Structures are given as structure tokens and as C-alpha cells.
């Protein structure tokens, strides 16, 4: 098998709005290797969330191909797509999306419950995951009793629950102060090192960009630039001089 975990070829995603067709994604080609941390940047409305959702099996492409971990998503039947979403991808969102009536540990158990993992096993794994993200002391707290950074670490533990090879983040630091954002990026880099999990992170945040191995810039549904590690290092060195907007968009 090739080392490419995600292969997107000539991807197109249209939305219909009344009589009009909106081309949210247009001729997108990209690849992500196992264990990479890849960023996606671009202005509002450029198609970042649409792209992430298509990779995560939440929206079907209207053209082109997308393969994740050897599965061609356009060929999967609905029931296989449900299995794909449960086992192949984990999601983290800007506003954490934890269930407010469930404790931290219960939130982490949710994907395992859906996958049919028996209670003792899912409790054990949820505890282990909360320890990995540094939240084991707070496992019985409700989301409202946790800070934003703490809630996002619980959301990362939840995303890891069924051991997906890939985690997709839509503005994961968008609601965090810079200290919590740095801590989250550190956690993501450690997870990549320890578990070889692959991350694709949509972001506007320089802290996230600095922690990526590669970054794609998209505009009007098309990839306009690809930034390598060298470009990202240059960006790091020039902090304060080059703004993210000047450099990436």
C-alpha cells in the first residue's frame, strides 16, 4: 500500500441554491501521507469546511475522487459510509461540540458506544485517553465546568476513541486563547509522534500553521498554493513582520 492516507483527485463539490449552482470546491488535488499534520488556510467562504466534510464522509463529492485509507468514498454505500465515519475519522470543532449533559468521560465513551464497544472496555479506554490529554483529574466534570482549552482536550480524546487513522479539525483553536492554543498544538504533535495519527487542520491561527508539516491555501474552491516545511519555518522566523494573511493568502 502507498503511504498516501488521503488522495483527492479533481474533486468537485457543488451546492444548489435555488436556480443557481455554487461551486464550493473545484478541481481540488491533494495528498496527505500517514502521520502528517497538514493545514488548510483560506478566506471565509473559500471552501475549507466543505473540503474537510467531504474528506470525513459528511458530504458526497459531486465530481472527482477521494480515497481515504484505501477506501474510495464515492463508491461507499450509506451503511459503509456510517462505518467509515465511526472508525476512520475523528472530528474536532471550533466550539468543541461536547454533549452538555454528559461528563467528560461519558463524552469520550460516545463514539465507542456507537461502535458497540462493551461498557467496561469503553470506560477503561476513555480513562486512558483522558490521561493522555491530561484530563483524568476532571473526568467527572460536565463541559460547563471546564475551560475552553480543557473542553477541546476532551474533544480530542473523544476523536481518538475508535482509533481512527485520521483526525479532522475545523478551526480547533478558534475559540481558545493563545496559551491554550499552544498547548493543544503541542498535544496534537505528541499524538502524531506516539500514535502516527494524521491530522488535517482548517485554521486561521498562526500557532496552528507553525505546528503543521505542510499547508494548502485555498481560495474560491481551488488550491492556490502549497507551503512546505521550509516556507513554514520562514514564517516562524519572521513572526511579527509577515502576517499570516500576507504569507498564506
Torsion of CA 221, 212, 55, 180, to 10 degrees: -100
Q: Are 38 and 31 in contact (CB under 8 A)?
A: no
Question: Which residue among 22, 99, 114, 131 contacts ligand ATP (CB under 6 A)?
Answer: 22
Q: Which residues contact 70 (CB under 8 A, 6 or more apart)?
A: 1
Size of the site for ligand ATP (CB under 6 A): 12
How far apart CA 173 and CA 208 sit, in angstroms, is 8
Smallest gap from residue 49 Cβ to ligand ATP (A):
3
Smallest gap from residue 60 Cβ to ligand ATP (A):
12
Q: Which residues contact 122 (CB under 8 A, 6 or more apart)?
A: 109, 112, 113, 161
17 binds, among Mg ion, ligand ATP, none (CB under 5 to 8 A by kind): ligand ATP
Smallest gap from residue 245 Cβ to ligand ATP (A):
13
Dihedrals φ, ψ of 8, to 5°? -110, 125
Closer Cβ to Mg ion, 30 or 202, answer by number = 202
173 binds, among ligand ATP, Mg ion, none (CB under 5 to 8 A by kind): none
Question: Which residue among 5, 28, 32, 48 contacts ligand ATP (CB under 6 A)?
Answer: 48
Residues making contact with ligand ATP (CB under 6 A): 15, 17, 22, 24, 42, 44-50
Amino acid at each position: 500500500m502507498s503511504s498516501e492516507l488521503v488522495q483527492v483527485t479533481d474533486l468537485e463539490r457543488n451546492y444548489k441554491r435555488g436556480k443557481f449552482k455554487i461551486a464550493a470546491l473545484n478541481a481540488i488535488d491533494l495528498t496527505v501521507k500517514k502521520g502528517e499534520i497538514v493545514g488548510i488556510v483560506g478566506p471565509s467562504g473559500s471552501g475549507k469546511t466543505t473540503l474537510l466534510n467531504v474528506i470525513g464522509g459528511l458530504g458526497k463529492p459531486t465530481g472527482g475522487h477521494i480515497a481515504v485509507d484505501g477506501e474510495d468514498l464515492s463508491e461507499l454505500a450509506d451503511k459503509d459510509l456510517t462505518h467509515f465515519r465511526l472508525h476512520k475519522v475523528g472530528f474536532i470543532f471550533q466550539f468543541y461540540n461536547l454533549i452538555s449533559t454528559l461528563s467528560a468521560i461519558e463524552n469520550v465513551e460516545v463514539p465507542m458506544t456507537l461502535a458497540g464497544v462493551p461498557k467496561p472496555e469503553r470506560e477503561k479506554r476513555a480513562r486512558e485517553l483522558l490521561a493522555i490529554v491530561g484530563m483524568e483529574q476532571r473526568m467527572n466534570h460536565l463541559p460547563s465546568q471546564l475551560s475552553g482549552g480543557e473542553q477541546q482536550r476532551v474533544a480530542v480524546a473523544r476523536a481518538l476513541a475508535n482509533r481512527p487513522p485520521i483526525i479532522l479539525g475545523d478551526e480547533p483553536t478558534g475559540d481558545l486563547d493563545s496559551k491554550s492554543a499552544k498547548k493543544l498544538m503541542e498535544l496534537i504533535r505528541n499524538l502524531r509522534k506516539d500514535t502516527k495519527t494524521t491530522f488535517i487542520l482548517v485554521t486561521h491561527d498562526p500557532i496552528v500553521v507553525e505546528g503543521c508539516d505542510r499547508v494548502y491555501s485555498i481560495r474560491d474552491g481551488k488550491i492556490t498554493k502549497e507551503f512546505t516545511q521550509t516556507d513554514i519555518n520562514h514564517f516562524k522566523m519572521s513572526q511579527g513582520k509577515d502576517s499570516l494573511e500576507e504569507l498564506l493568502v
